[in-house]
Amino acid sequence: MNRRRITLSELVLLAVLAVVSGFVYWALVQAWIALQIAMGPFGDLAQNVLIGGWMVAAPLALYIVRRPGVGILVELAAALVEVVFLASPVGPTLLVVGLVQGAGAELAFALTRYRRYDWGVFILSGALAGLASTVLGMVRFGWLTQDWFEWRLGLQVASGILLCGIAAKVIGDALARTGVLDNTALGRARRDAAPATEPVPVA
């Protein structure tokens, strides 16, 4: 695990990611309302379908910066943006949600001591984030004793894998290809992994 201190440029990048994620998360609330209506009698499961999208900032931040704790930090900051600037109806409780979901997503990377960033780790990150969110739902809303618990659990994990874990790697790779992340840990790792080009012989 790299113990180098986080730099000012990385802090700025994480702040930008948190703000953007906060607005994306707010937009997901609007999508949740629309999906709830569209799903009719199954509308109560709409949040579970989209839950992964509310957790994507954590693995994305870890992928880019590769420092312990940044996944939790960014999720908390994104939740703060929603509460303070976007008047989230959930209120300050959203900070607890961000903490739990960020910790769940980060656990997969911590298990590798922040050394692996392959597809398997991202899939595990999404699954653990979905499980952490489910446990929180069991505590807050009593899901375990309600109808649809098995559906909620399956949708939470599937959404976590797709909209959190896999989406974070896809987004991170797409951003890296543009060159905007060249000075980050992800950019350096991509350069180190690139095959060396052979010099062109001079006639």
- Cβ neighbours for 50, distance < 8 A, ≥ 6 positions apart: 28, 31, 32, 35, 159, 163
More confident residue, 194 or 178: 178
Tens digits of residue pLDDT in 127-150: 999 999 999 999 999 999 999 999
DSSP-derived letter for residue 4 is: P
CATH topology of domain 8-183: Arp2/3 complex 21 kDa subunit ARPC3 (1.10.1760)
Compute the average pLDDT of residues 101-128. 98
Residue spans per domain, the chain: 8-183
115: number of Cβ within 10 Å: 10
Backbone torsion region of residue 142, taken as left when φ is above 0, otherwise alpha when ψ lies between -120 and 50, otherwise beta: left
- Cβ neighbours for 138, distance < 8 A, ≥ 6 positions apart: 144
With beta carbons less than 8 A apart as the criterion, state whether 33 and 137 touch: no
- Cβ neighbours for 192, distance < 8 A, ≥ 6 positions apart: none
Task: Kindly state the percentage of the chain with pLDDT values over 70.
Answer: 94
More confident residue, 2 or 77: 77
Phi, psi angles (nearest 5°) of residue 160: -60, -45
pTM of the shown model:
0.92
Both structure tokens of 95 = 């900070």
Compute the average pLDDT of residues 44-70. 97
Under the banding of pLDDT at 50, 70 and 90, the label for residue 199 is low
Under the banding of pLDDT at 50, 70 and 90, the label for residue 194 is confident
pLDDT given for residue 201 in this prediction: 57
